[in-house]
Amino acid sequence: ALSSKKQCGNLTLVELPMSSANEAPGGPFGVVILGLNGLLHATNPSEQRQILAAARSALRPGGQLLLDVVNPATPLFHGLDQQVLHEGRWTDNRGNKIDKFSSRVVSPAEQLIDVSLWYDITDADGVLRRVRTGFTQRYVQRAELELMLELAGFESWTLHGGYELEPFDDGSDRIVVAAVT
């Protein structure tokens, strides 16, 4: 697995592919966090299962996986398809004005989301420069995610509908999981 390691004082940052979580030095761990749609950056089911299995292997007995993904069953999710959104505006430390835009194309048959992001950067003289990037994600439904957790060896889990740990229901924007080894 490709990796990099950086040391700063007594803190060590190790960068590994998510599917190599079990190779992180210092383990086994009490907690593994796959937050902010991290699992969705694996664009096929096999790779997503490998990531969950590696997370399970990185945990000590009684350890906990904390996982957070978008809930694709909400109308909000499908309302994003092919819409251009202005996601924010701020000023950087050089005085440039930055506007962030996004667009998503959802493919239900493949469970893929093609995300395009672009940043319009306007300097003090009014000169505009655009920076564009993008990525693909593979979303999962609740039942599929629970099956993957079971196949990865997790014994029990709880589902929540958001960061306040509210109950998961049809209107939940997120699927927040706490899974135990």
Segment 57-107, tens digit of pLDDT: 999 999 999 999 999 998 878 788 899 999 999 999 999 999 999 999 999
Residue-level pLDDT at 50: 98
Strands 174-180 and 59-70, by their bridges, are: antiparallel
CA neighbours closer than 13 Å in the CB half-sphere of residue 176: 13
Report the alpha-carbon distance of residue 141 to residue 143 in Å, rounded. Answer: 6
This prediction's pTM: 0.89
Question: Phi then psi for 101, rounded to 5 degrees?
Answer: -125, 155
